[in-house]
Structure 1
Amino acid sequence: MIRDKSTTIHLCLLLVVTAVFIWSVINPAGYLNWALEVSPAIVGLIIVIATYSKLRLTTLSYIIIAILMILMFVGGHYTYSKVPLFNWIKDVLNLNRNDYDRFGHFLKGLFAIVIREILLRKTPITKGPWLFSITISIALAIASLYEIIEWLSTKITKGGKVVKNFLGMQGDIWDAQWDMSFALVGSILALLFFSKLHNQLLKKELIRESRKSQSKSD
């Protein structure tokens, strides 16, 4: 089977994500906290692999997915509030907290591009203000759902060190609101800066799919 250039890039991304996953699981700060932090990435990875042949996304979407998975694997390994690089930034800039979680929620705004692609390819929605609005709404809903899950974890487990690490509030009572706000800003910026590039890549992917379907029918 001859692979096109995009398929090779996708395979490389999978290998990188797998390598970081293996590193992440080796002697993490705590295995229960690790499981809580990385489980969304593992589920996402399974879905991406299972649907690859049926719905192959653009390379931009797969790059974003890979970045977000790596982000969660790193956070799971150290816990979000103790990632060394952001501890260093905290000390250098004299900050009050380790902001890896805020950085992570901001980057999770990139997932808006993936949502945008699924909407364009699987729904009647076309490019325009409605696409922008619905994409932002779904991205914010996902960010809010994650905060609800974190809140439920405190109610189910009655607190504890693992749950505190999972929440990563670091004493900020408005942590959930900050996280959702950063995700919202990240989503808006992702759509503003990457939609044009995404349109170009999406057009190429749809042409590839069309040619593939035509070759099968022949």
Structure 2
Amino acid sequence: MKRDHSVIIHIFLFLVVAAVLIWSVIRPEGYLIWLAEVFPALILVITVIATYKKFRLTTVSYIIIAILSILMFIGGHYTYSKVPLFNWIKDHFDLNRNHYDRFAHFLKGLSVIVIREILLRLTSLNKGPWLVGITLSISLAIGALYEIIEWLSFKVTKGKKLTEDFLGAQGDIWDAQWDMLLLLIGSMLTLLIFSKLHNRHLSKLKSKRG
């Protein structure tokens, strides 16, 4: 019987994500802000584990999910505006803010591959302009929903420090617009660069399933 090496990769990814999660919960900036920041990643990881046998994704999708989860765990530990490496970059290049949140929103564009896979496997959509348009729209819709949640939390708590840390706006009134723009750019570049690789992974998965 031929061994499925992809399972070994998936287990490795899970162990890495679990290790970063454990690290992130050890003396974070604050436990409430940690929970607010990592909650989406926790739901995502739990969903992936629960559906692994019934609806296994491609390895490239699992790699992306691992990357995005780790990004959120790091942001939850330090808060997005206080990640040390980006504080160093801020000081070294005399920038006006910590850009970890910008970097994270750009990389969240990688999620379009996971969205693309779900659409191709669970709907009648085929590869082409409609798939690209709908995939980008869903990515932006998810990003917009998160920005609305941040705005509502700010309104409900009347701008308390916990919510300010959660927003990570750092005084920029256009923070939400920048986040959405970078998500769009990241999503478009991801589709442009990784769609062919994703197609190969989808073909391999299909051949394994018979």
Structure 2 residue aligned with 1:193: 193
Residues 28-107 of structure 1: pairs in structure 2 closer than 5 A: 28-107=28-107
Q: 2:51 and 2:21 mapped to 1: Cα distance? A: 20
Q: Which residue of 2 aligns with 1:205?
A: 205
Amino acid aligned to 2:74: V
Deviations 1:106-156 (CA, angstroms, capped at 9, x unpaired): 000000000000000000000001101110010011110110010111122
The AA in structure 2 aligned to 1:201 is H
- The residue type paired with residue 208 of structure 2 is R
Q: SS in structure 2 opposite 1:140?
A: helix
The 1-side partners of 2:117 and 2:197 are apart by: 12
> Could you tell me which residue of structure 2 aligns to residue 147 of structure 1?
147
SS of residue paired to 1:73: helix
1 CA distance for matches of 2:83 and 2:135? 30
Distance in 2, matches of 1:141 and 1:151, equals 15
Deviation at 1:54, TM superposition (A): 1.0
CA RMSD of aligned residues (A): 1.1
Aligned to 2:159: 159
- Give SS of 1:81's match: coil
Letter in 2 for 1:57: L
2: distance between equivalents of 1:21 and 1:32? 15
1:182-217 per-position Cα deviation (integer Å, ceiling 9, x unaligned): 00000000000000000001100011112xxxxxxx
Distance 1:142 1:179 in 2: 12
Do the aligned partners of residues 18 and 2 (structure 1) sit closer, same or farther apart at CA in structure 2, a change above 3 Å counting? farther
Structure 1, unpaired ranges of 5+:
211-218
SS of the aligned residue for 1:57 comes to: coil
Structure 2: runs of 5 or more not aligned: none
Shift of 1:2: 8.0
SS across alignment from 1:96: coil
State the match for 1:9 in structure 2: 9
- Structure 2 vs 1, CA of residues 30 and 3 (structure 1 numbering), >3 Å: closer, same or farther? farther
Secondary structure of the residue aligned to 1:87 is helix
What is the letter of the counterpart of residue 64 of structure 1? I
SS at match of 1:82: coil
When normalised by structure 2's length, the TM-score is 0.98
Q: Distance in 1 between matches of 2:151 and 2:46?
A: 26
Counterpart-to-counterpart distance in 2, 1:58 and 1:164: 37
Separation (CA, whole Å) in 1 of partners of 2:112 and 2:105: 12
Q: TM-score, structure 1 length as denominator?
A: 0.95
Aligned to 2:124: 124
2:121 and 2:53 map into 1 onto residues whose CA distance is 15
The alignment of Structure 1 onto Structure 2 pairs a total of residues equal to 210
Give the aligned partner of residue 136 of structure 1. 136
Alpha-carbon shift at residue 159 of structure 1 (Å): 1.9
Q: CA deviation at 1:158?
A: 2.1
1:30–1:129 CA distance, 2 compared to 1 (3 A) = same
Q: 1:70 is aligned with what amino acid? A: I
Distance 2:173 2:11 in 1: 42
Identity across the alignment (%) = 69
Q: Where has structure 1 moved over 3 Å in runs of 4 or more?
A: none
Provide the rounded CA distance (Å) in 2 between the counterparts of 1:76 and 1:108: 15
Per-residue CA deviations over 1:13-35 (Å, capped at 9, x if unaligned) read: 00000000000000001011000
